Chains A and B, each alone.
Chain A
Amino acid sequence: RKEVEQDPGPFNVPEGATVAFNCTYSNSASQSFFWYRQDCRKEPKLLMSVYSSGNEDGRFTAQLNRASQYISLLIRDSKLSDSATYLCVVREGGGSNYKLTFGKGTLLTVNP
């Protein structure tokens, strides 16, 4: 089983659509969770951290279910500029808590 597994995608949606990404992780000792975005093989950029209580940043909502080891990202009213690859990222626990484990990413294309 992959350490961090994401929807394979790609997702093609029209502007204004709502799109949801799902992610599962295998290491129950994982401590921190994030969504990053990556444009055209450029460096990954932190989109938002994910907290157990769920958190929202404008059009973006992230959820974490520790019991199910499941993370989600919801994008509402999608814009052309949201087109990118979305990476689910988990930070390990214990002595390796500096290590980020990345999913393969899900490509989103928002069409006019």
Chain B
Amino acid sequence: NAGVMQNPRHLVRRRGQEARLRCSPMKGHSHVYWYRQLPEEGLKFMVYLQKENIIDESGMPKERFSAEFPKEGPSILRIQQVVRGDSAAYFCASSEGGLTNEKLFFGSGTQLSVL
């Protein structure tokens, strides 16, 4: 499967723990986007990364959330000290060059549940 791969599919954490969500973009894609979908809400942009660079993190909460896309390996969305309000579906998407008319390919998402 050469699509966008996210893991884990489901992640359960207790309040105060850390959550790490992984995203491997499609082969040949160097642009990664993270979106969050809260229950009964639309997807909200969080962050846009290229290899080793954060291009736009305007949608990231100011605290506890961070993202990276290292030269080697998947993109990681990290949530420290999770709270119940972090429970959501987190979707990653990738594109080849970040151009206006490029199609984004979405992964299957990680469903985070905070107990």
Contacts and interface: CB of A to CB of B under 8 A. Distances in A.
B66 interface: no
Nearest to B44: A102
B31 interface: yes
B106 interface: yes
Interface of B: 31, 33, 35, 37, 40-45, 48, 55-56, 89, 91, 95, 98, 100-101, 103-104, 106-109, 111
Top 4 A-B residue pairs of the complex, sorted by shortest distance between their CB atoms: A43-B106, A102-B42, A104-B42, A102-B43
A82 B8 CA distance: 28
Nearest to B101: A32
Contacts, number: 51
Interface of A: 4, 31-32, 41-46, 87, 91, 96-105
A102 B56 CA distance: 17
B44 to A, nearest CB: 7
Contacts of B109: 41-43
A42 B104 contact: no
Nearest to A99: B45
A59 to B, nearest CB: 22
Contacts of A32: 100-101
Contacts of B103: 46
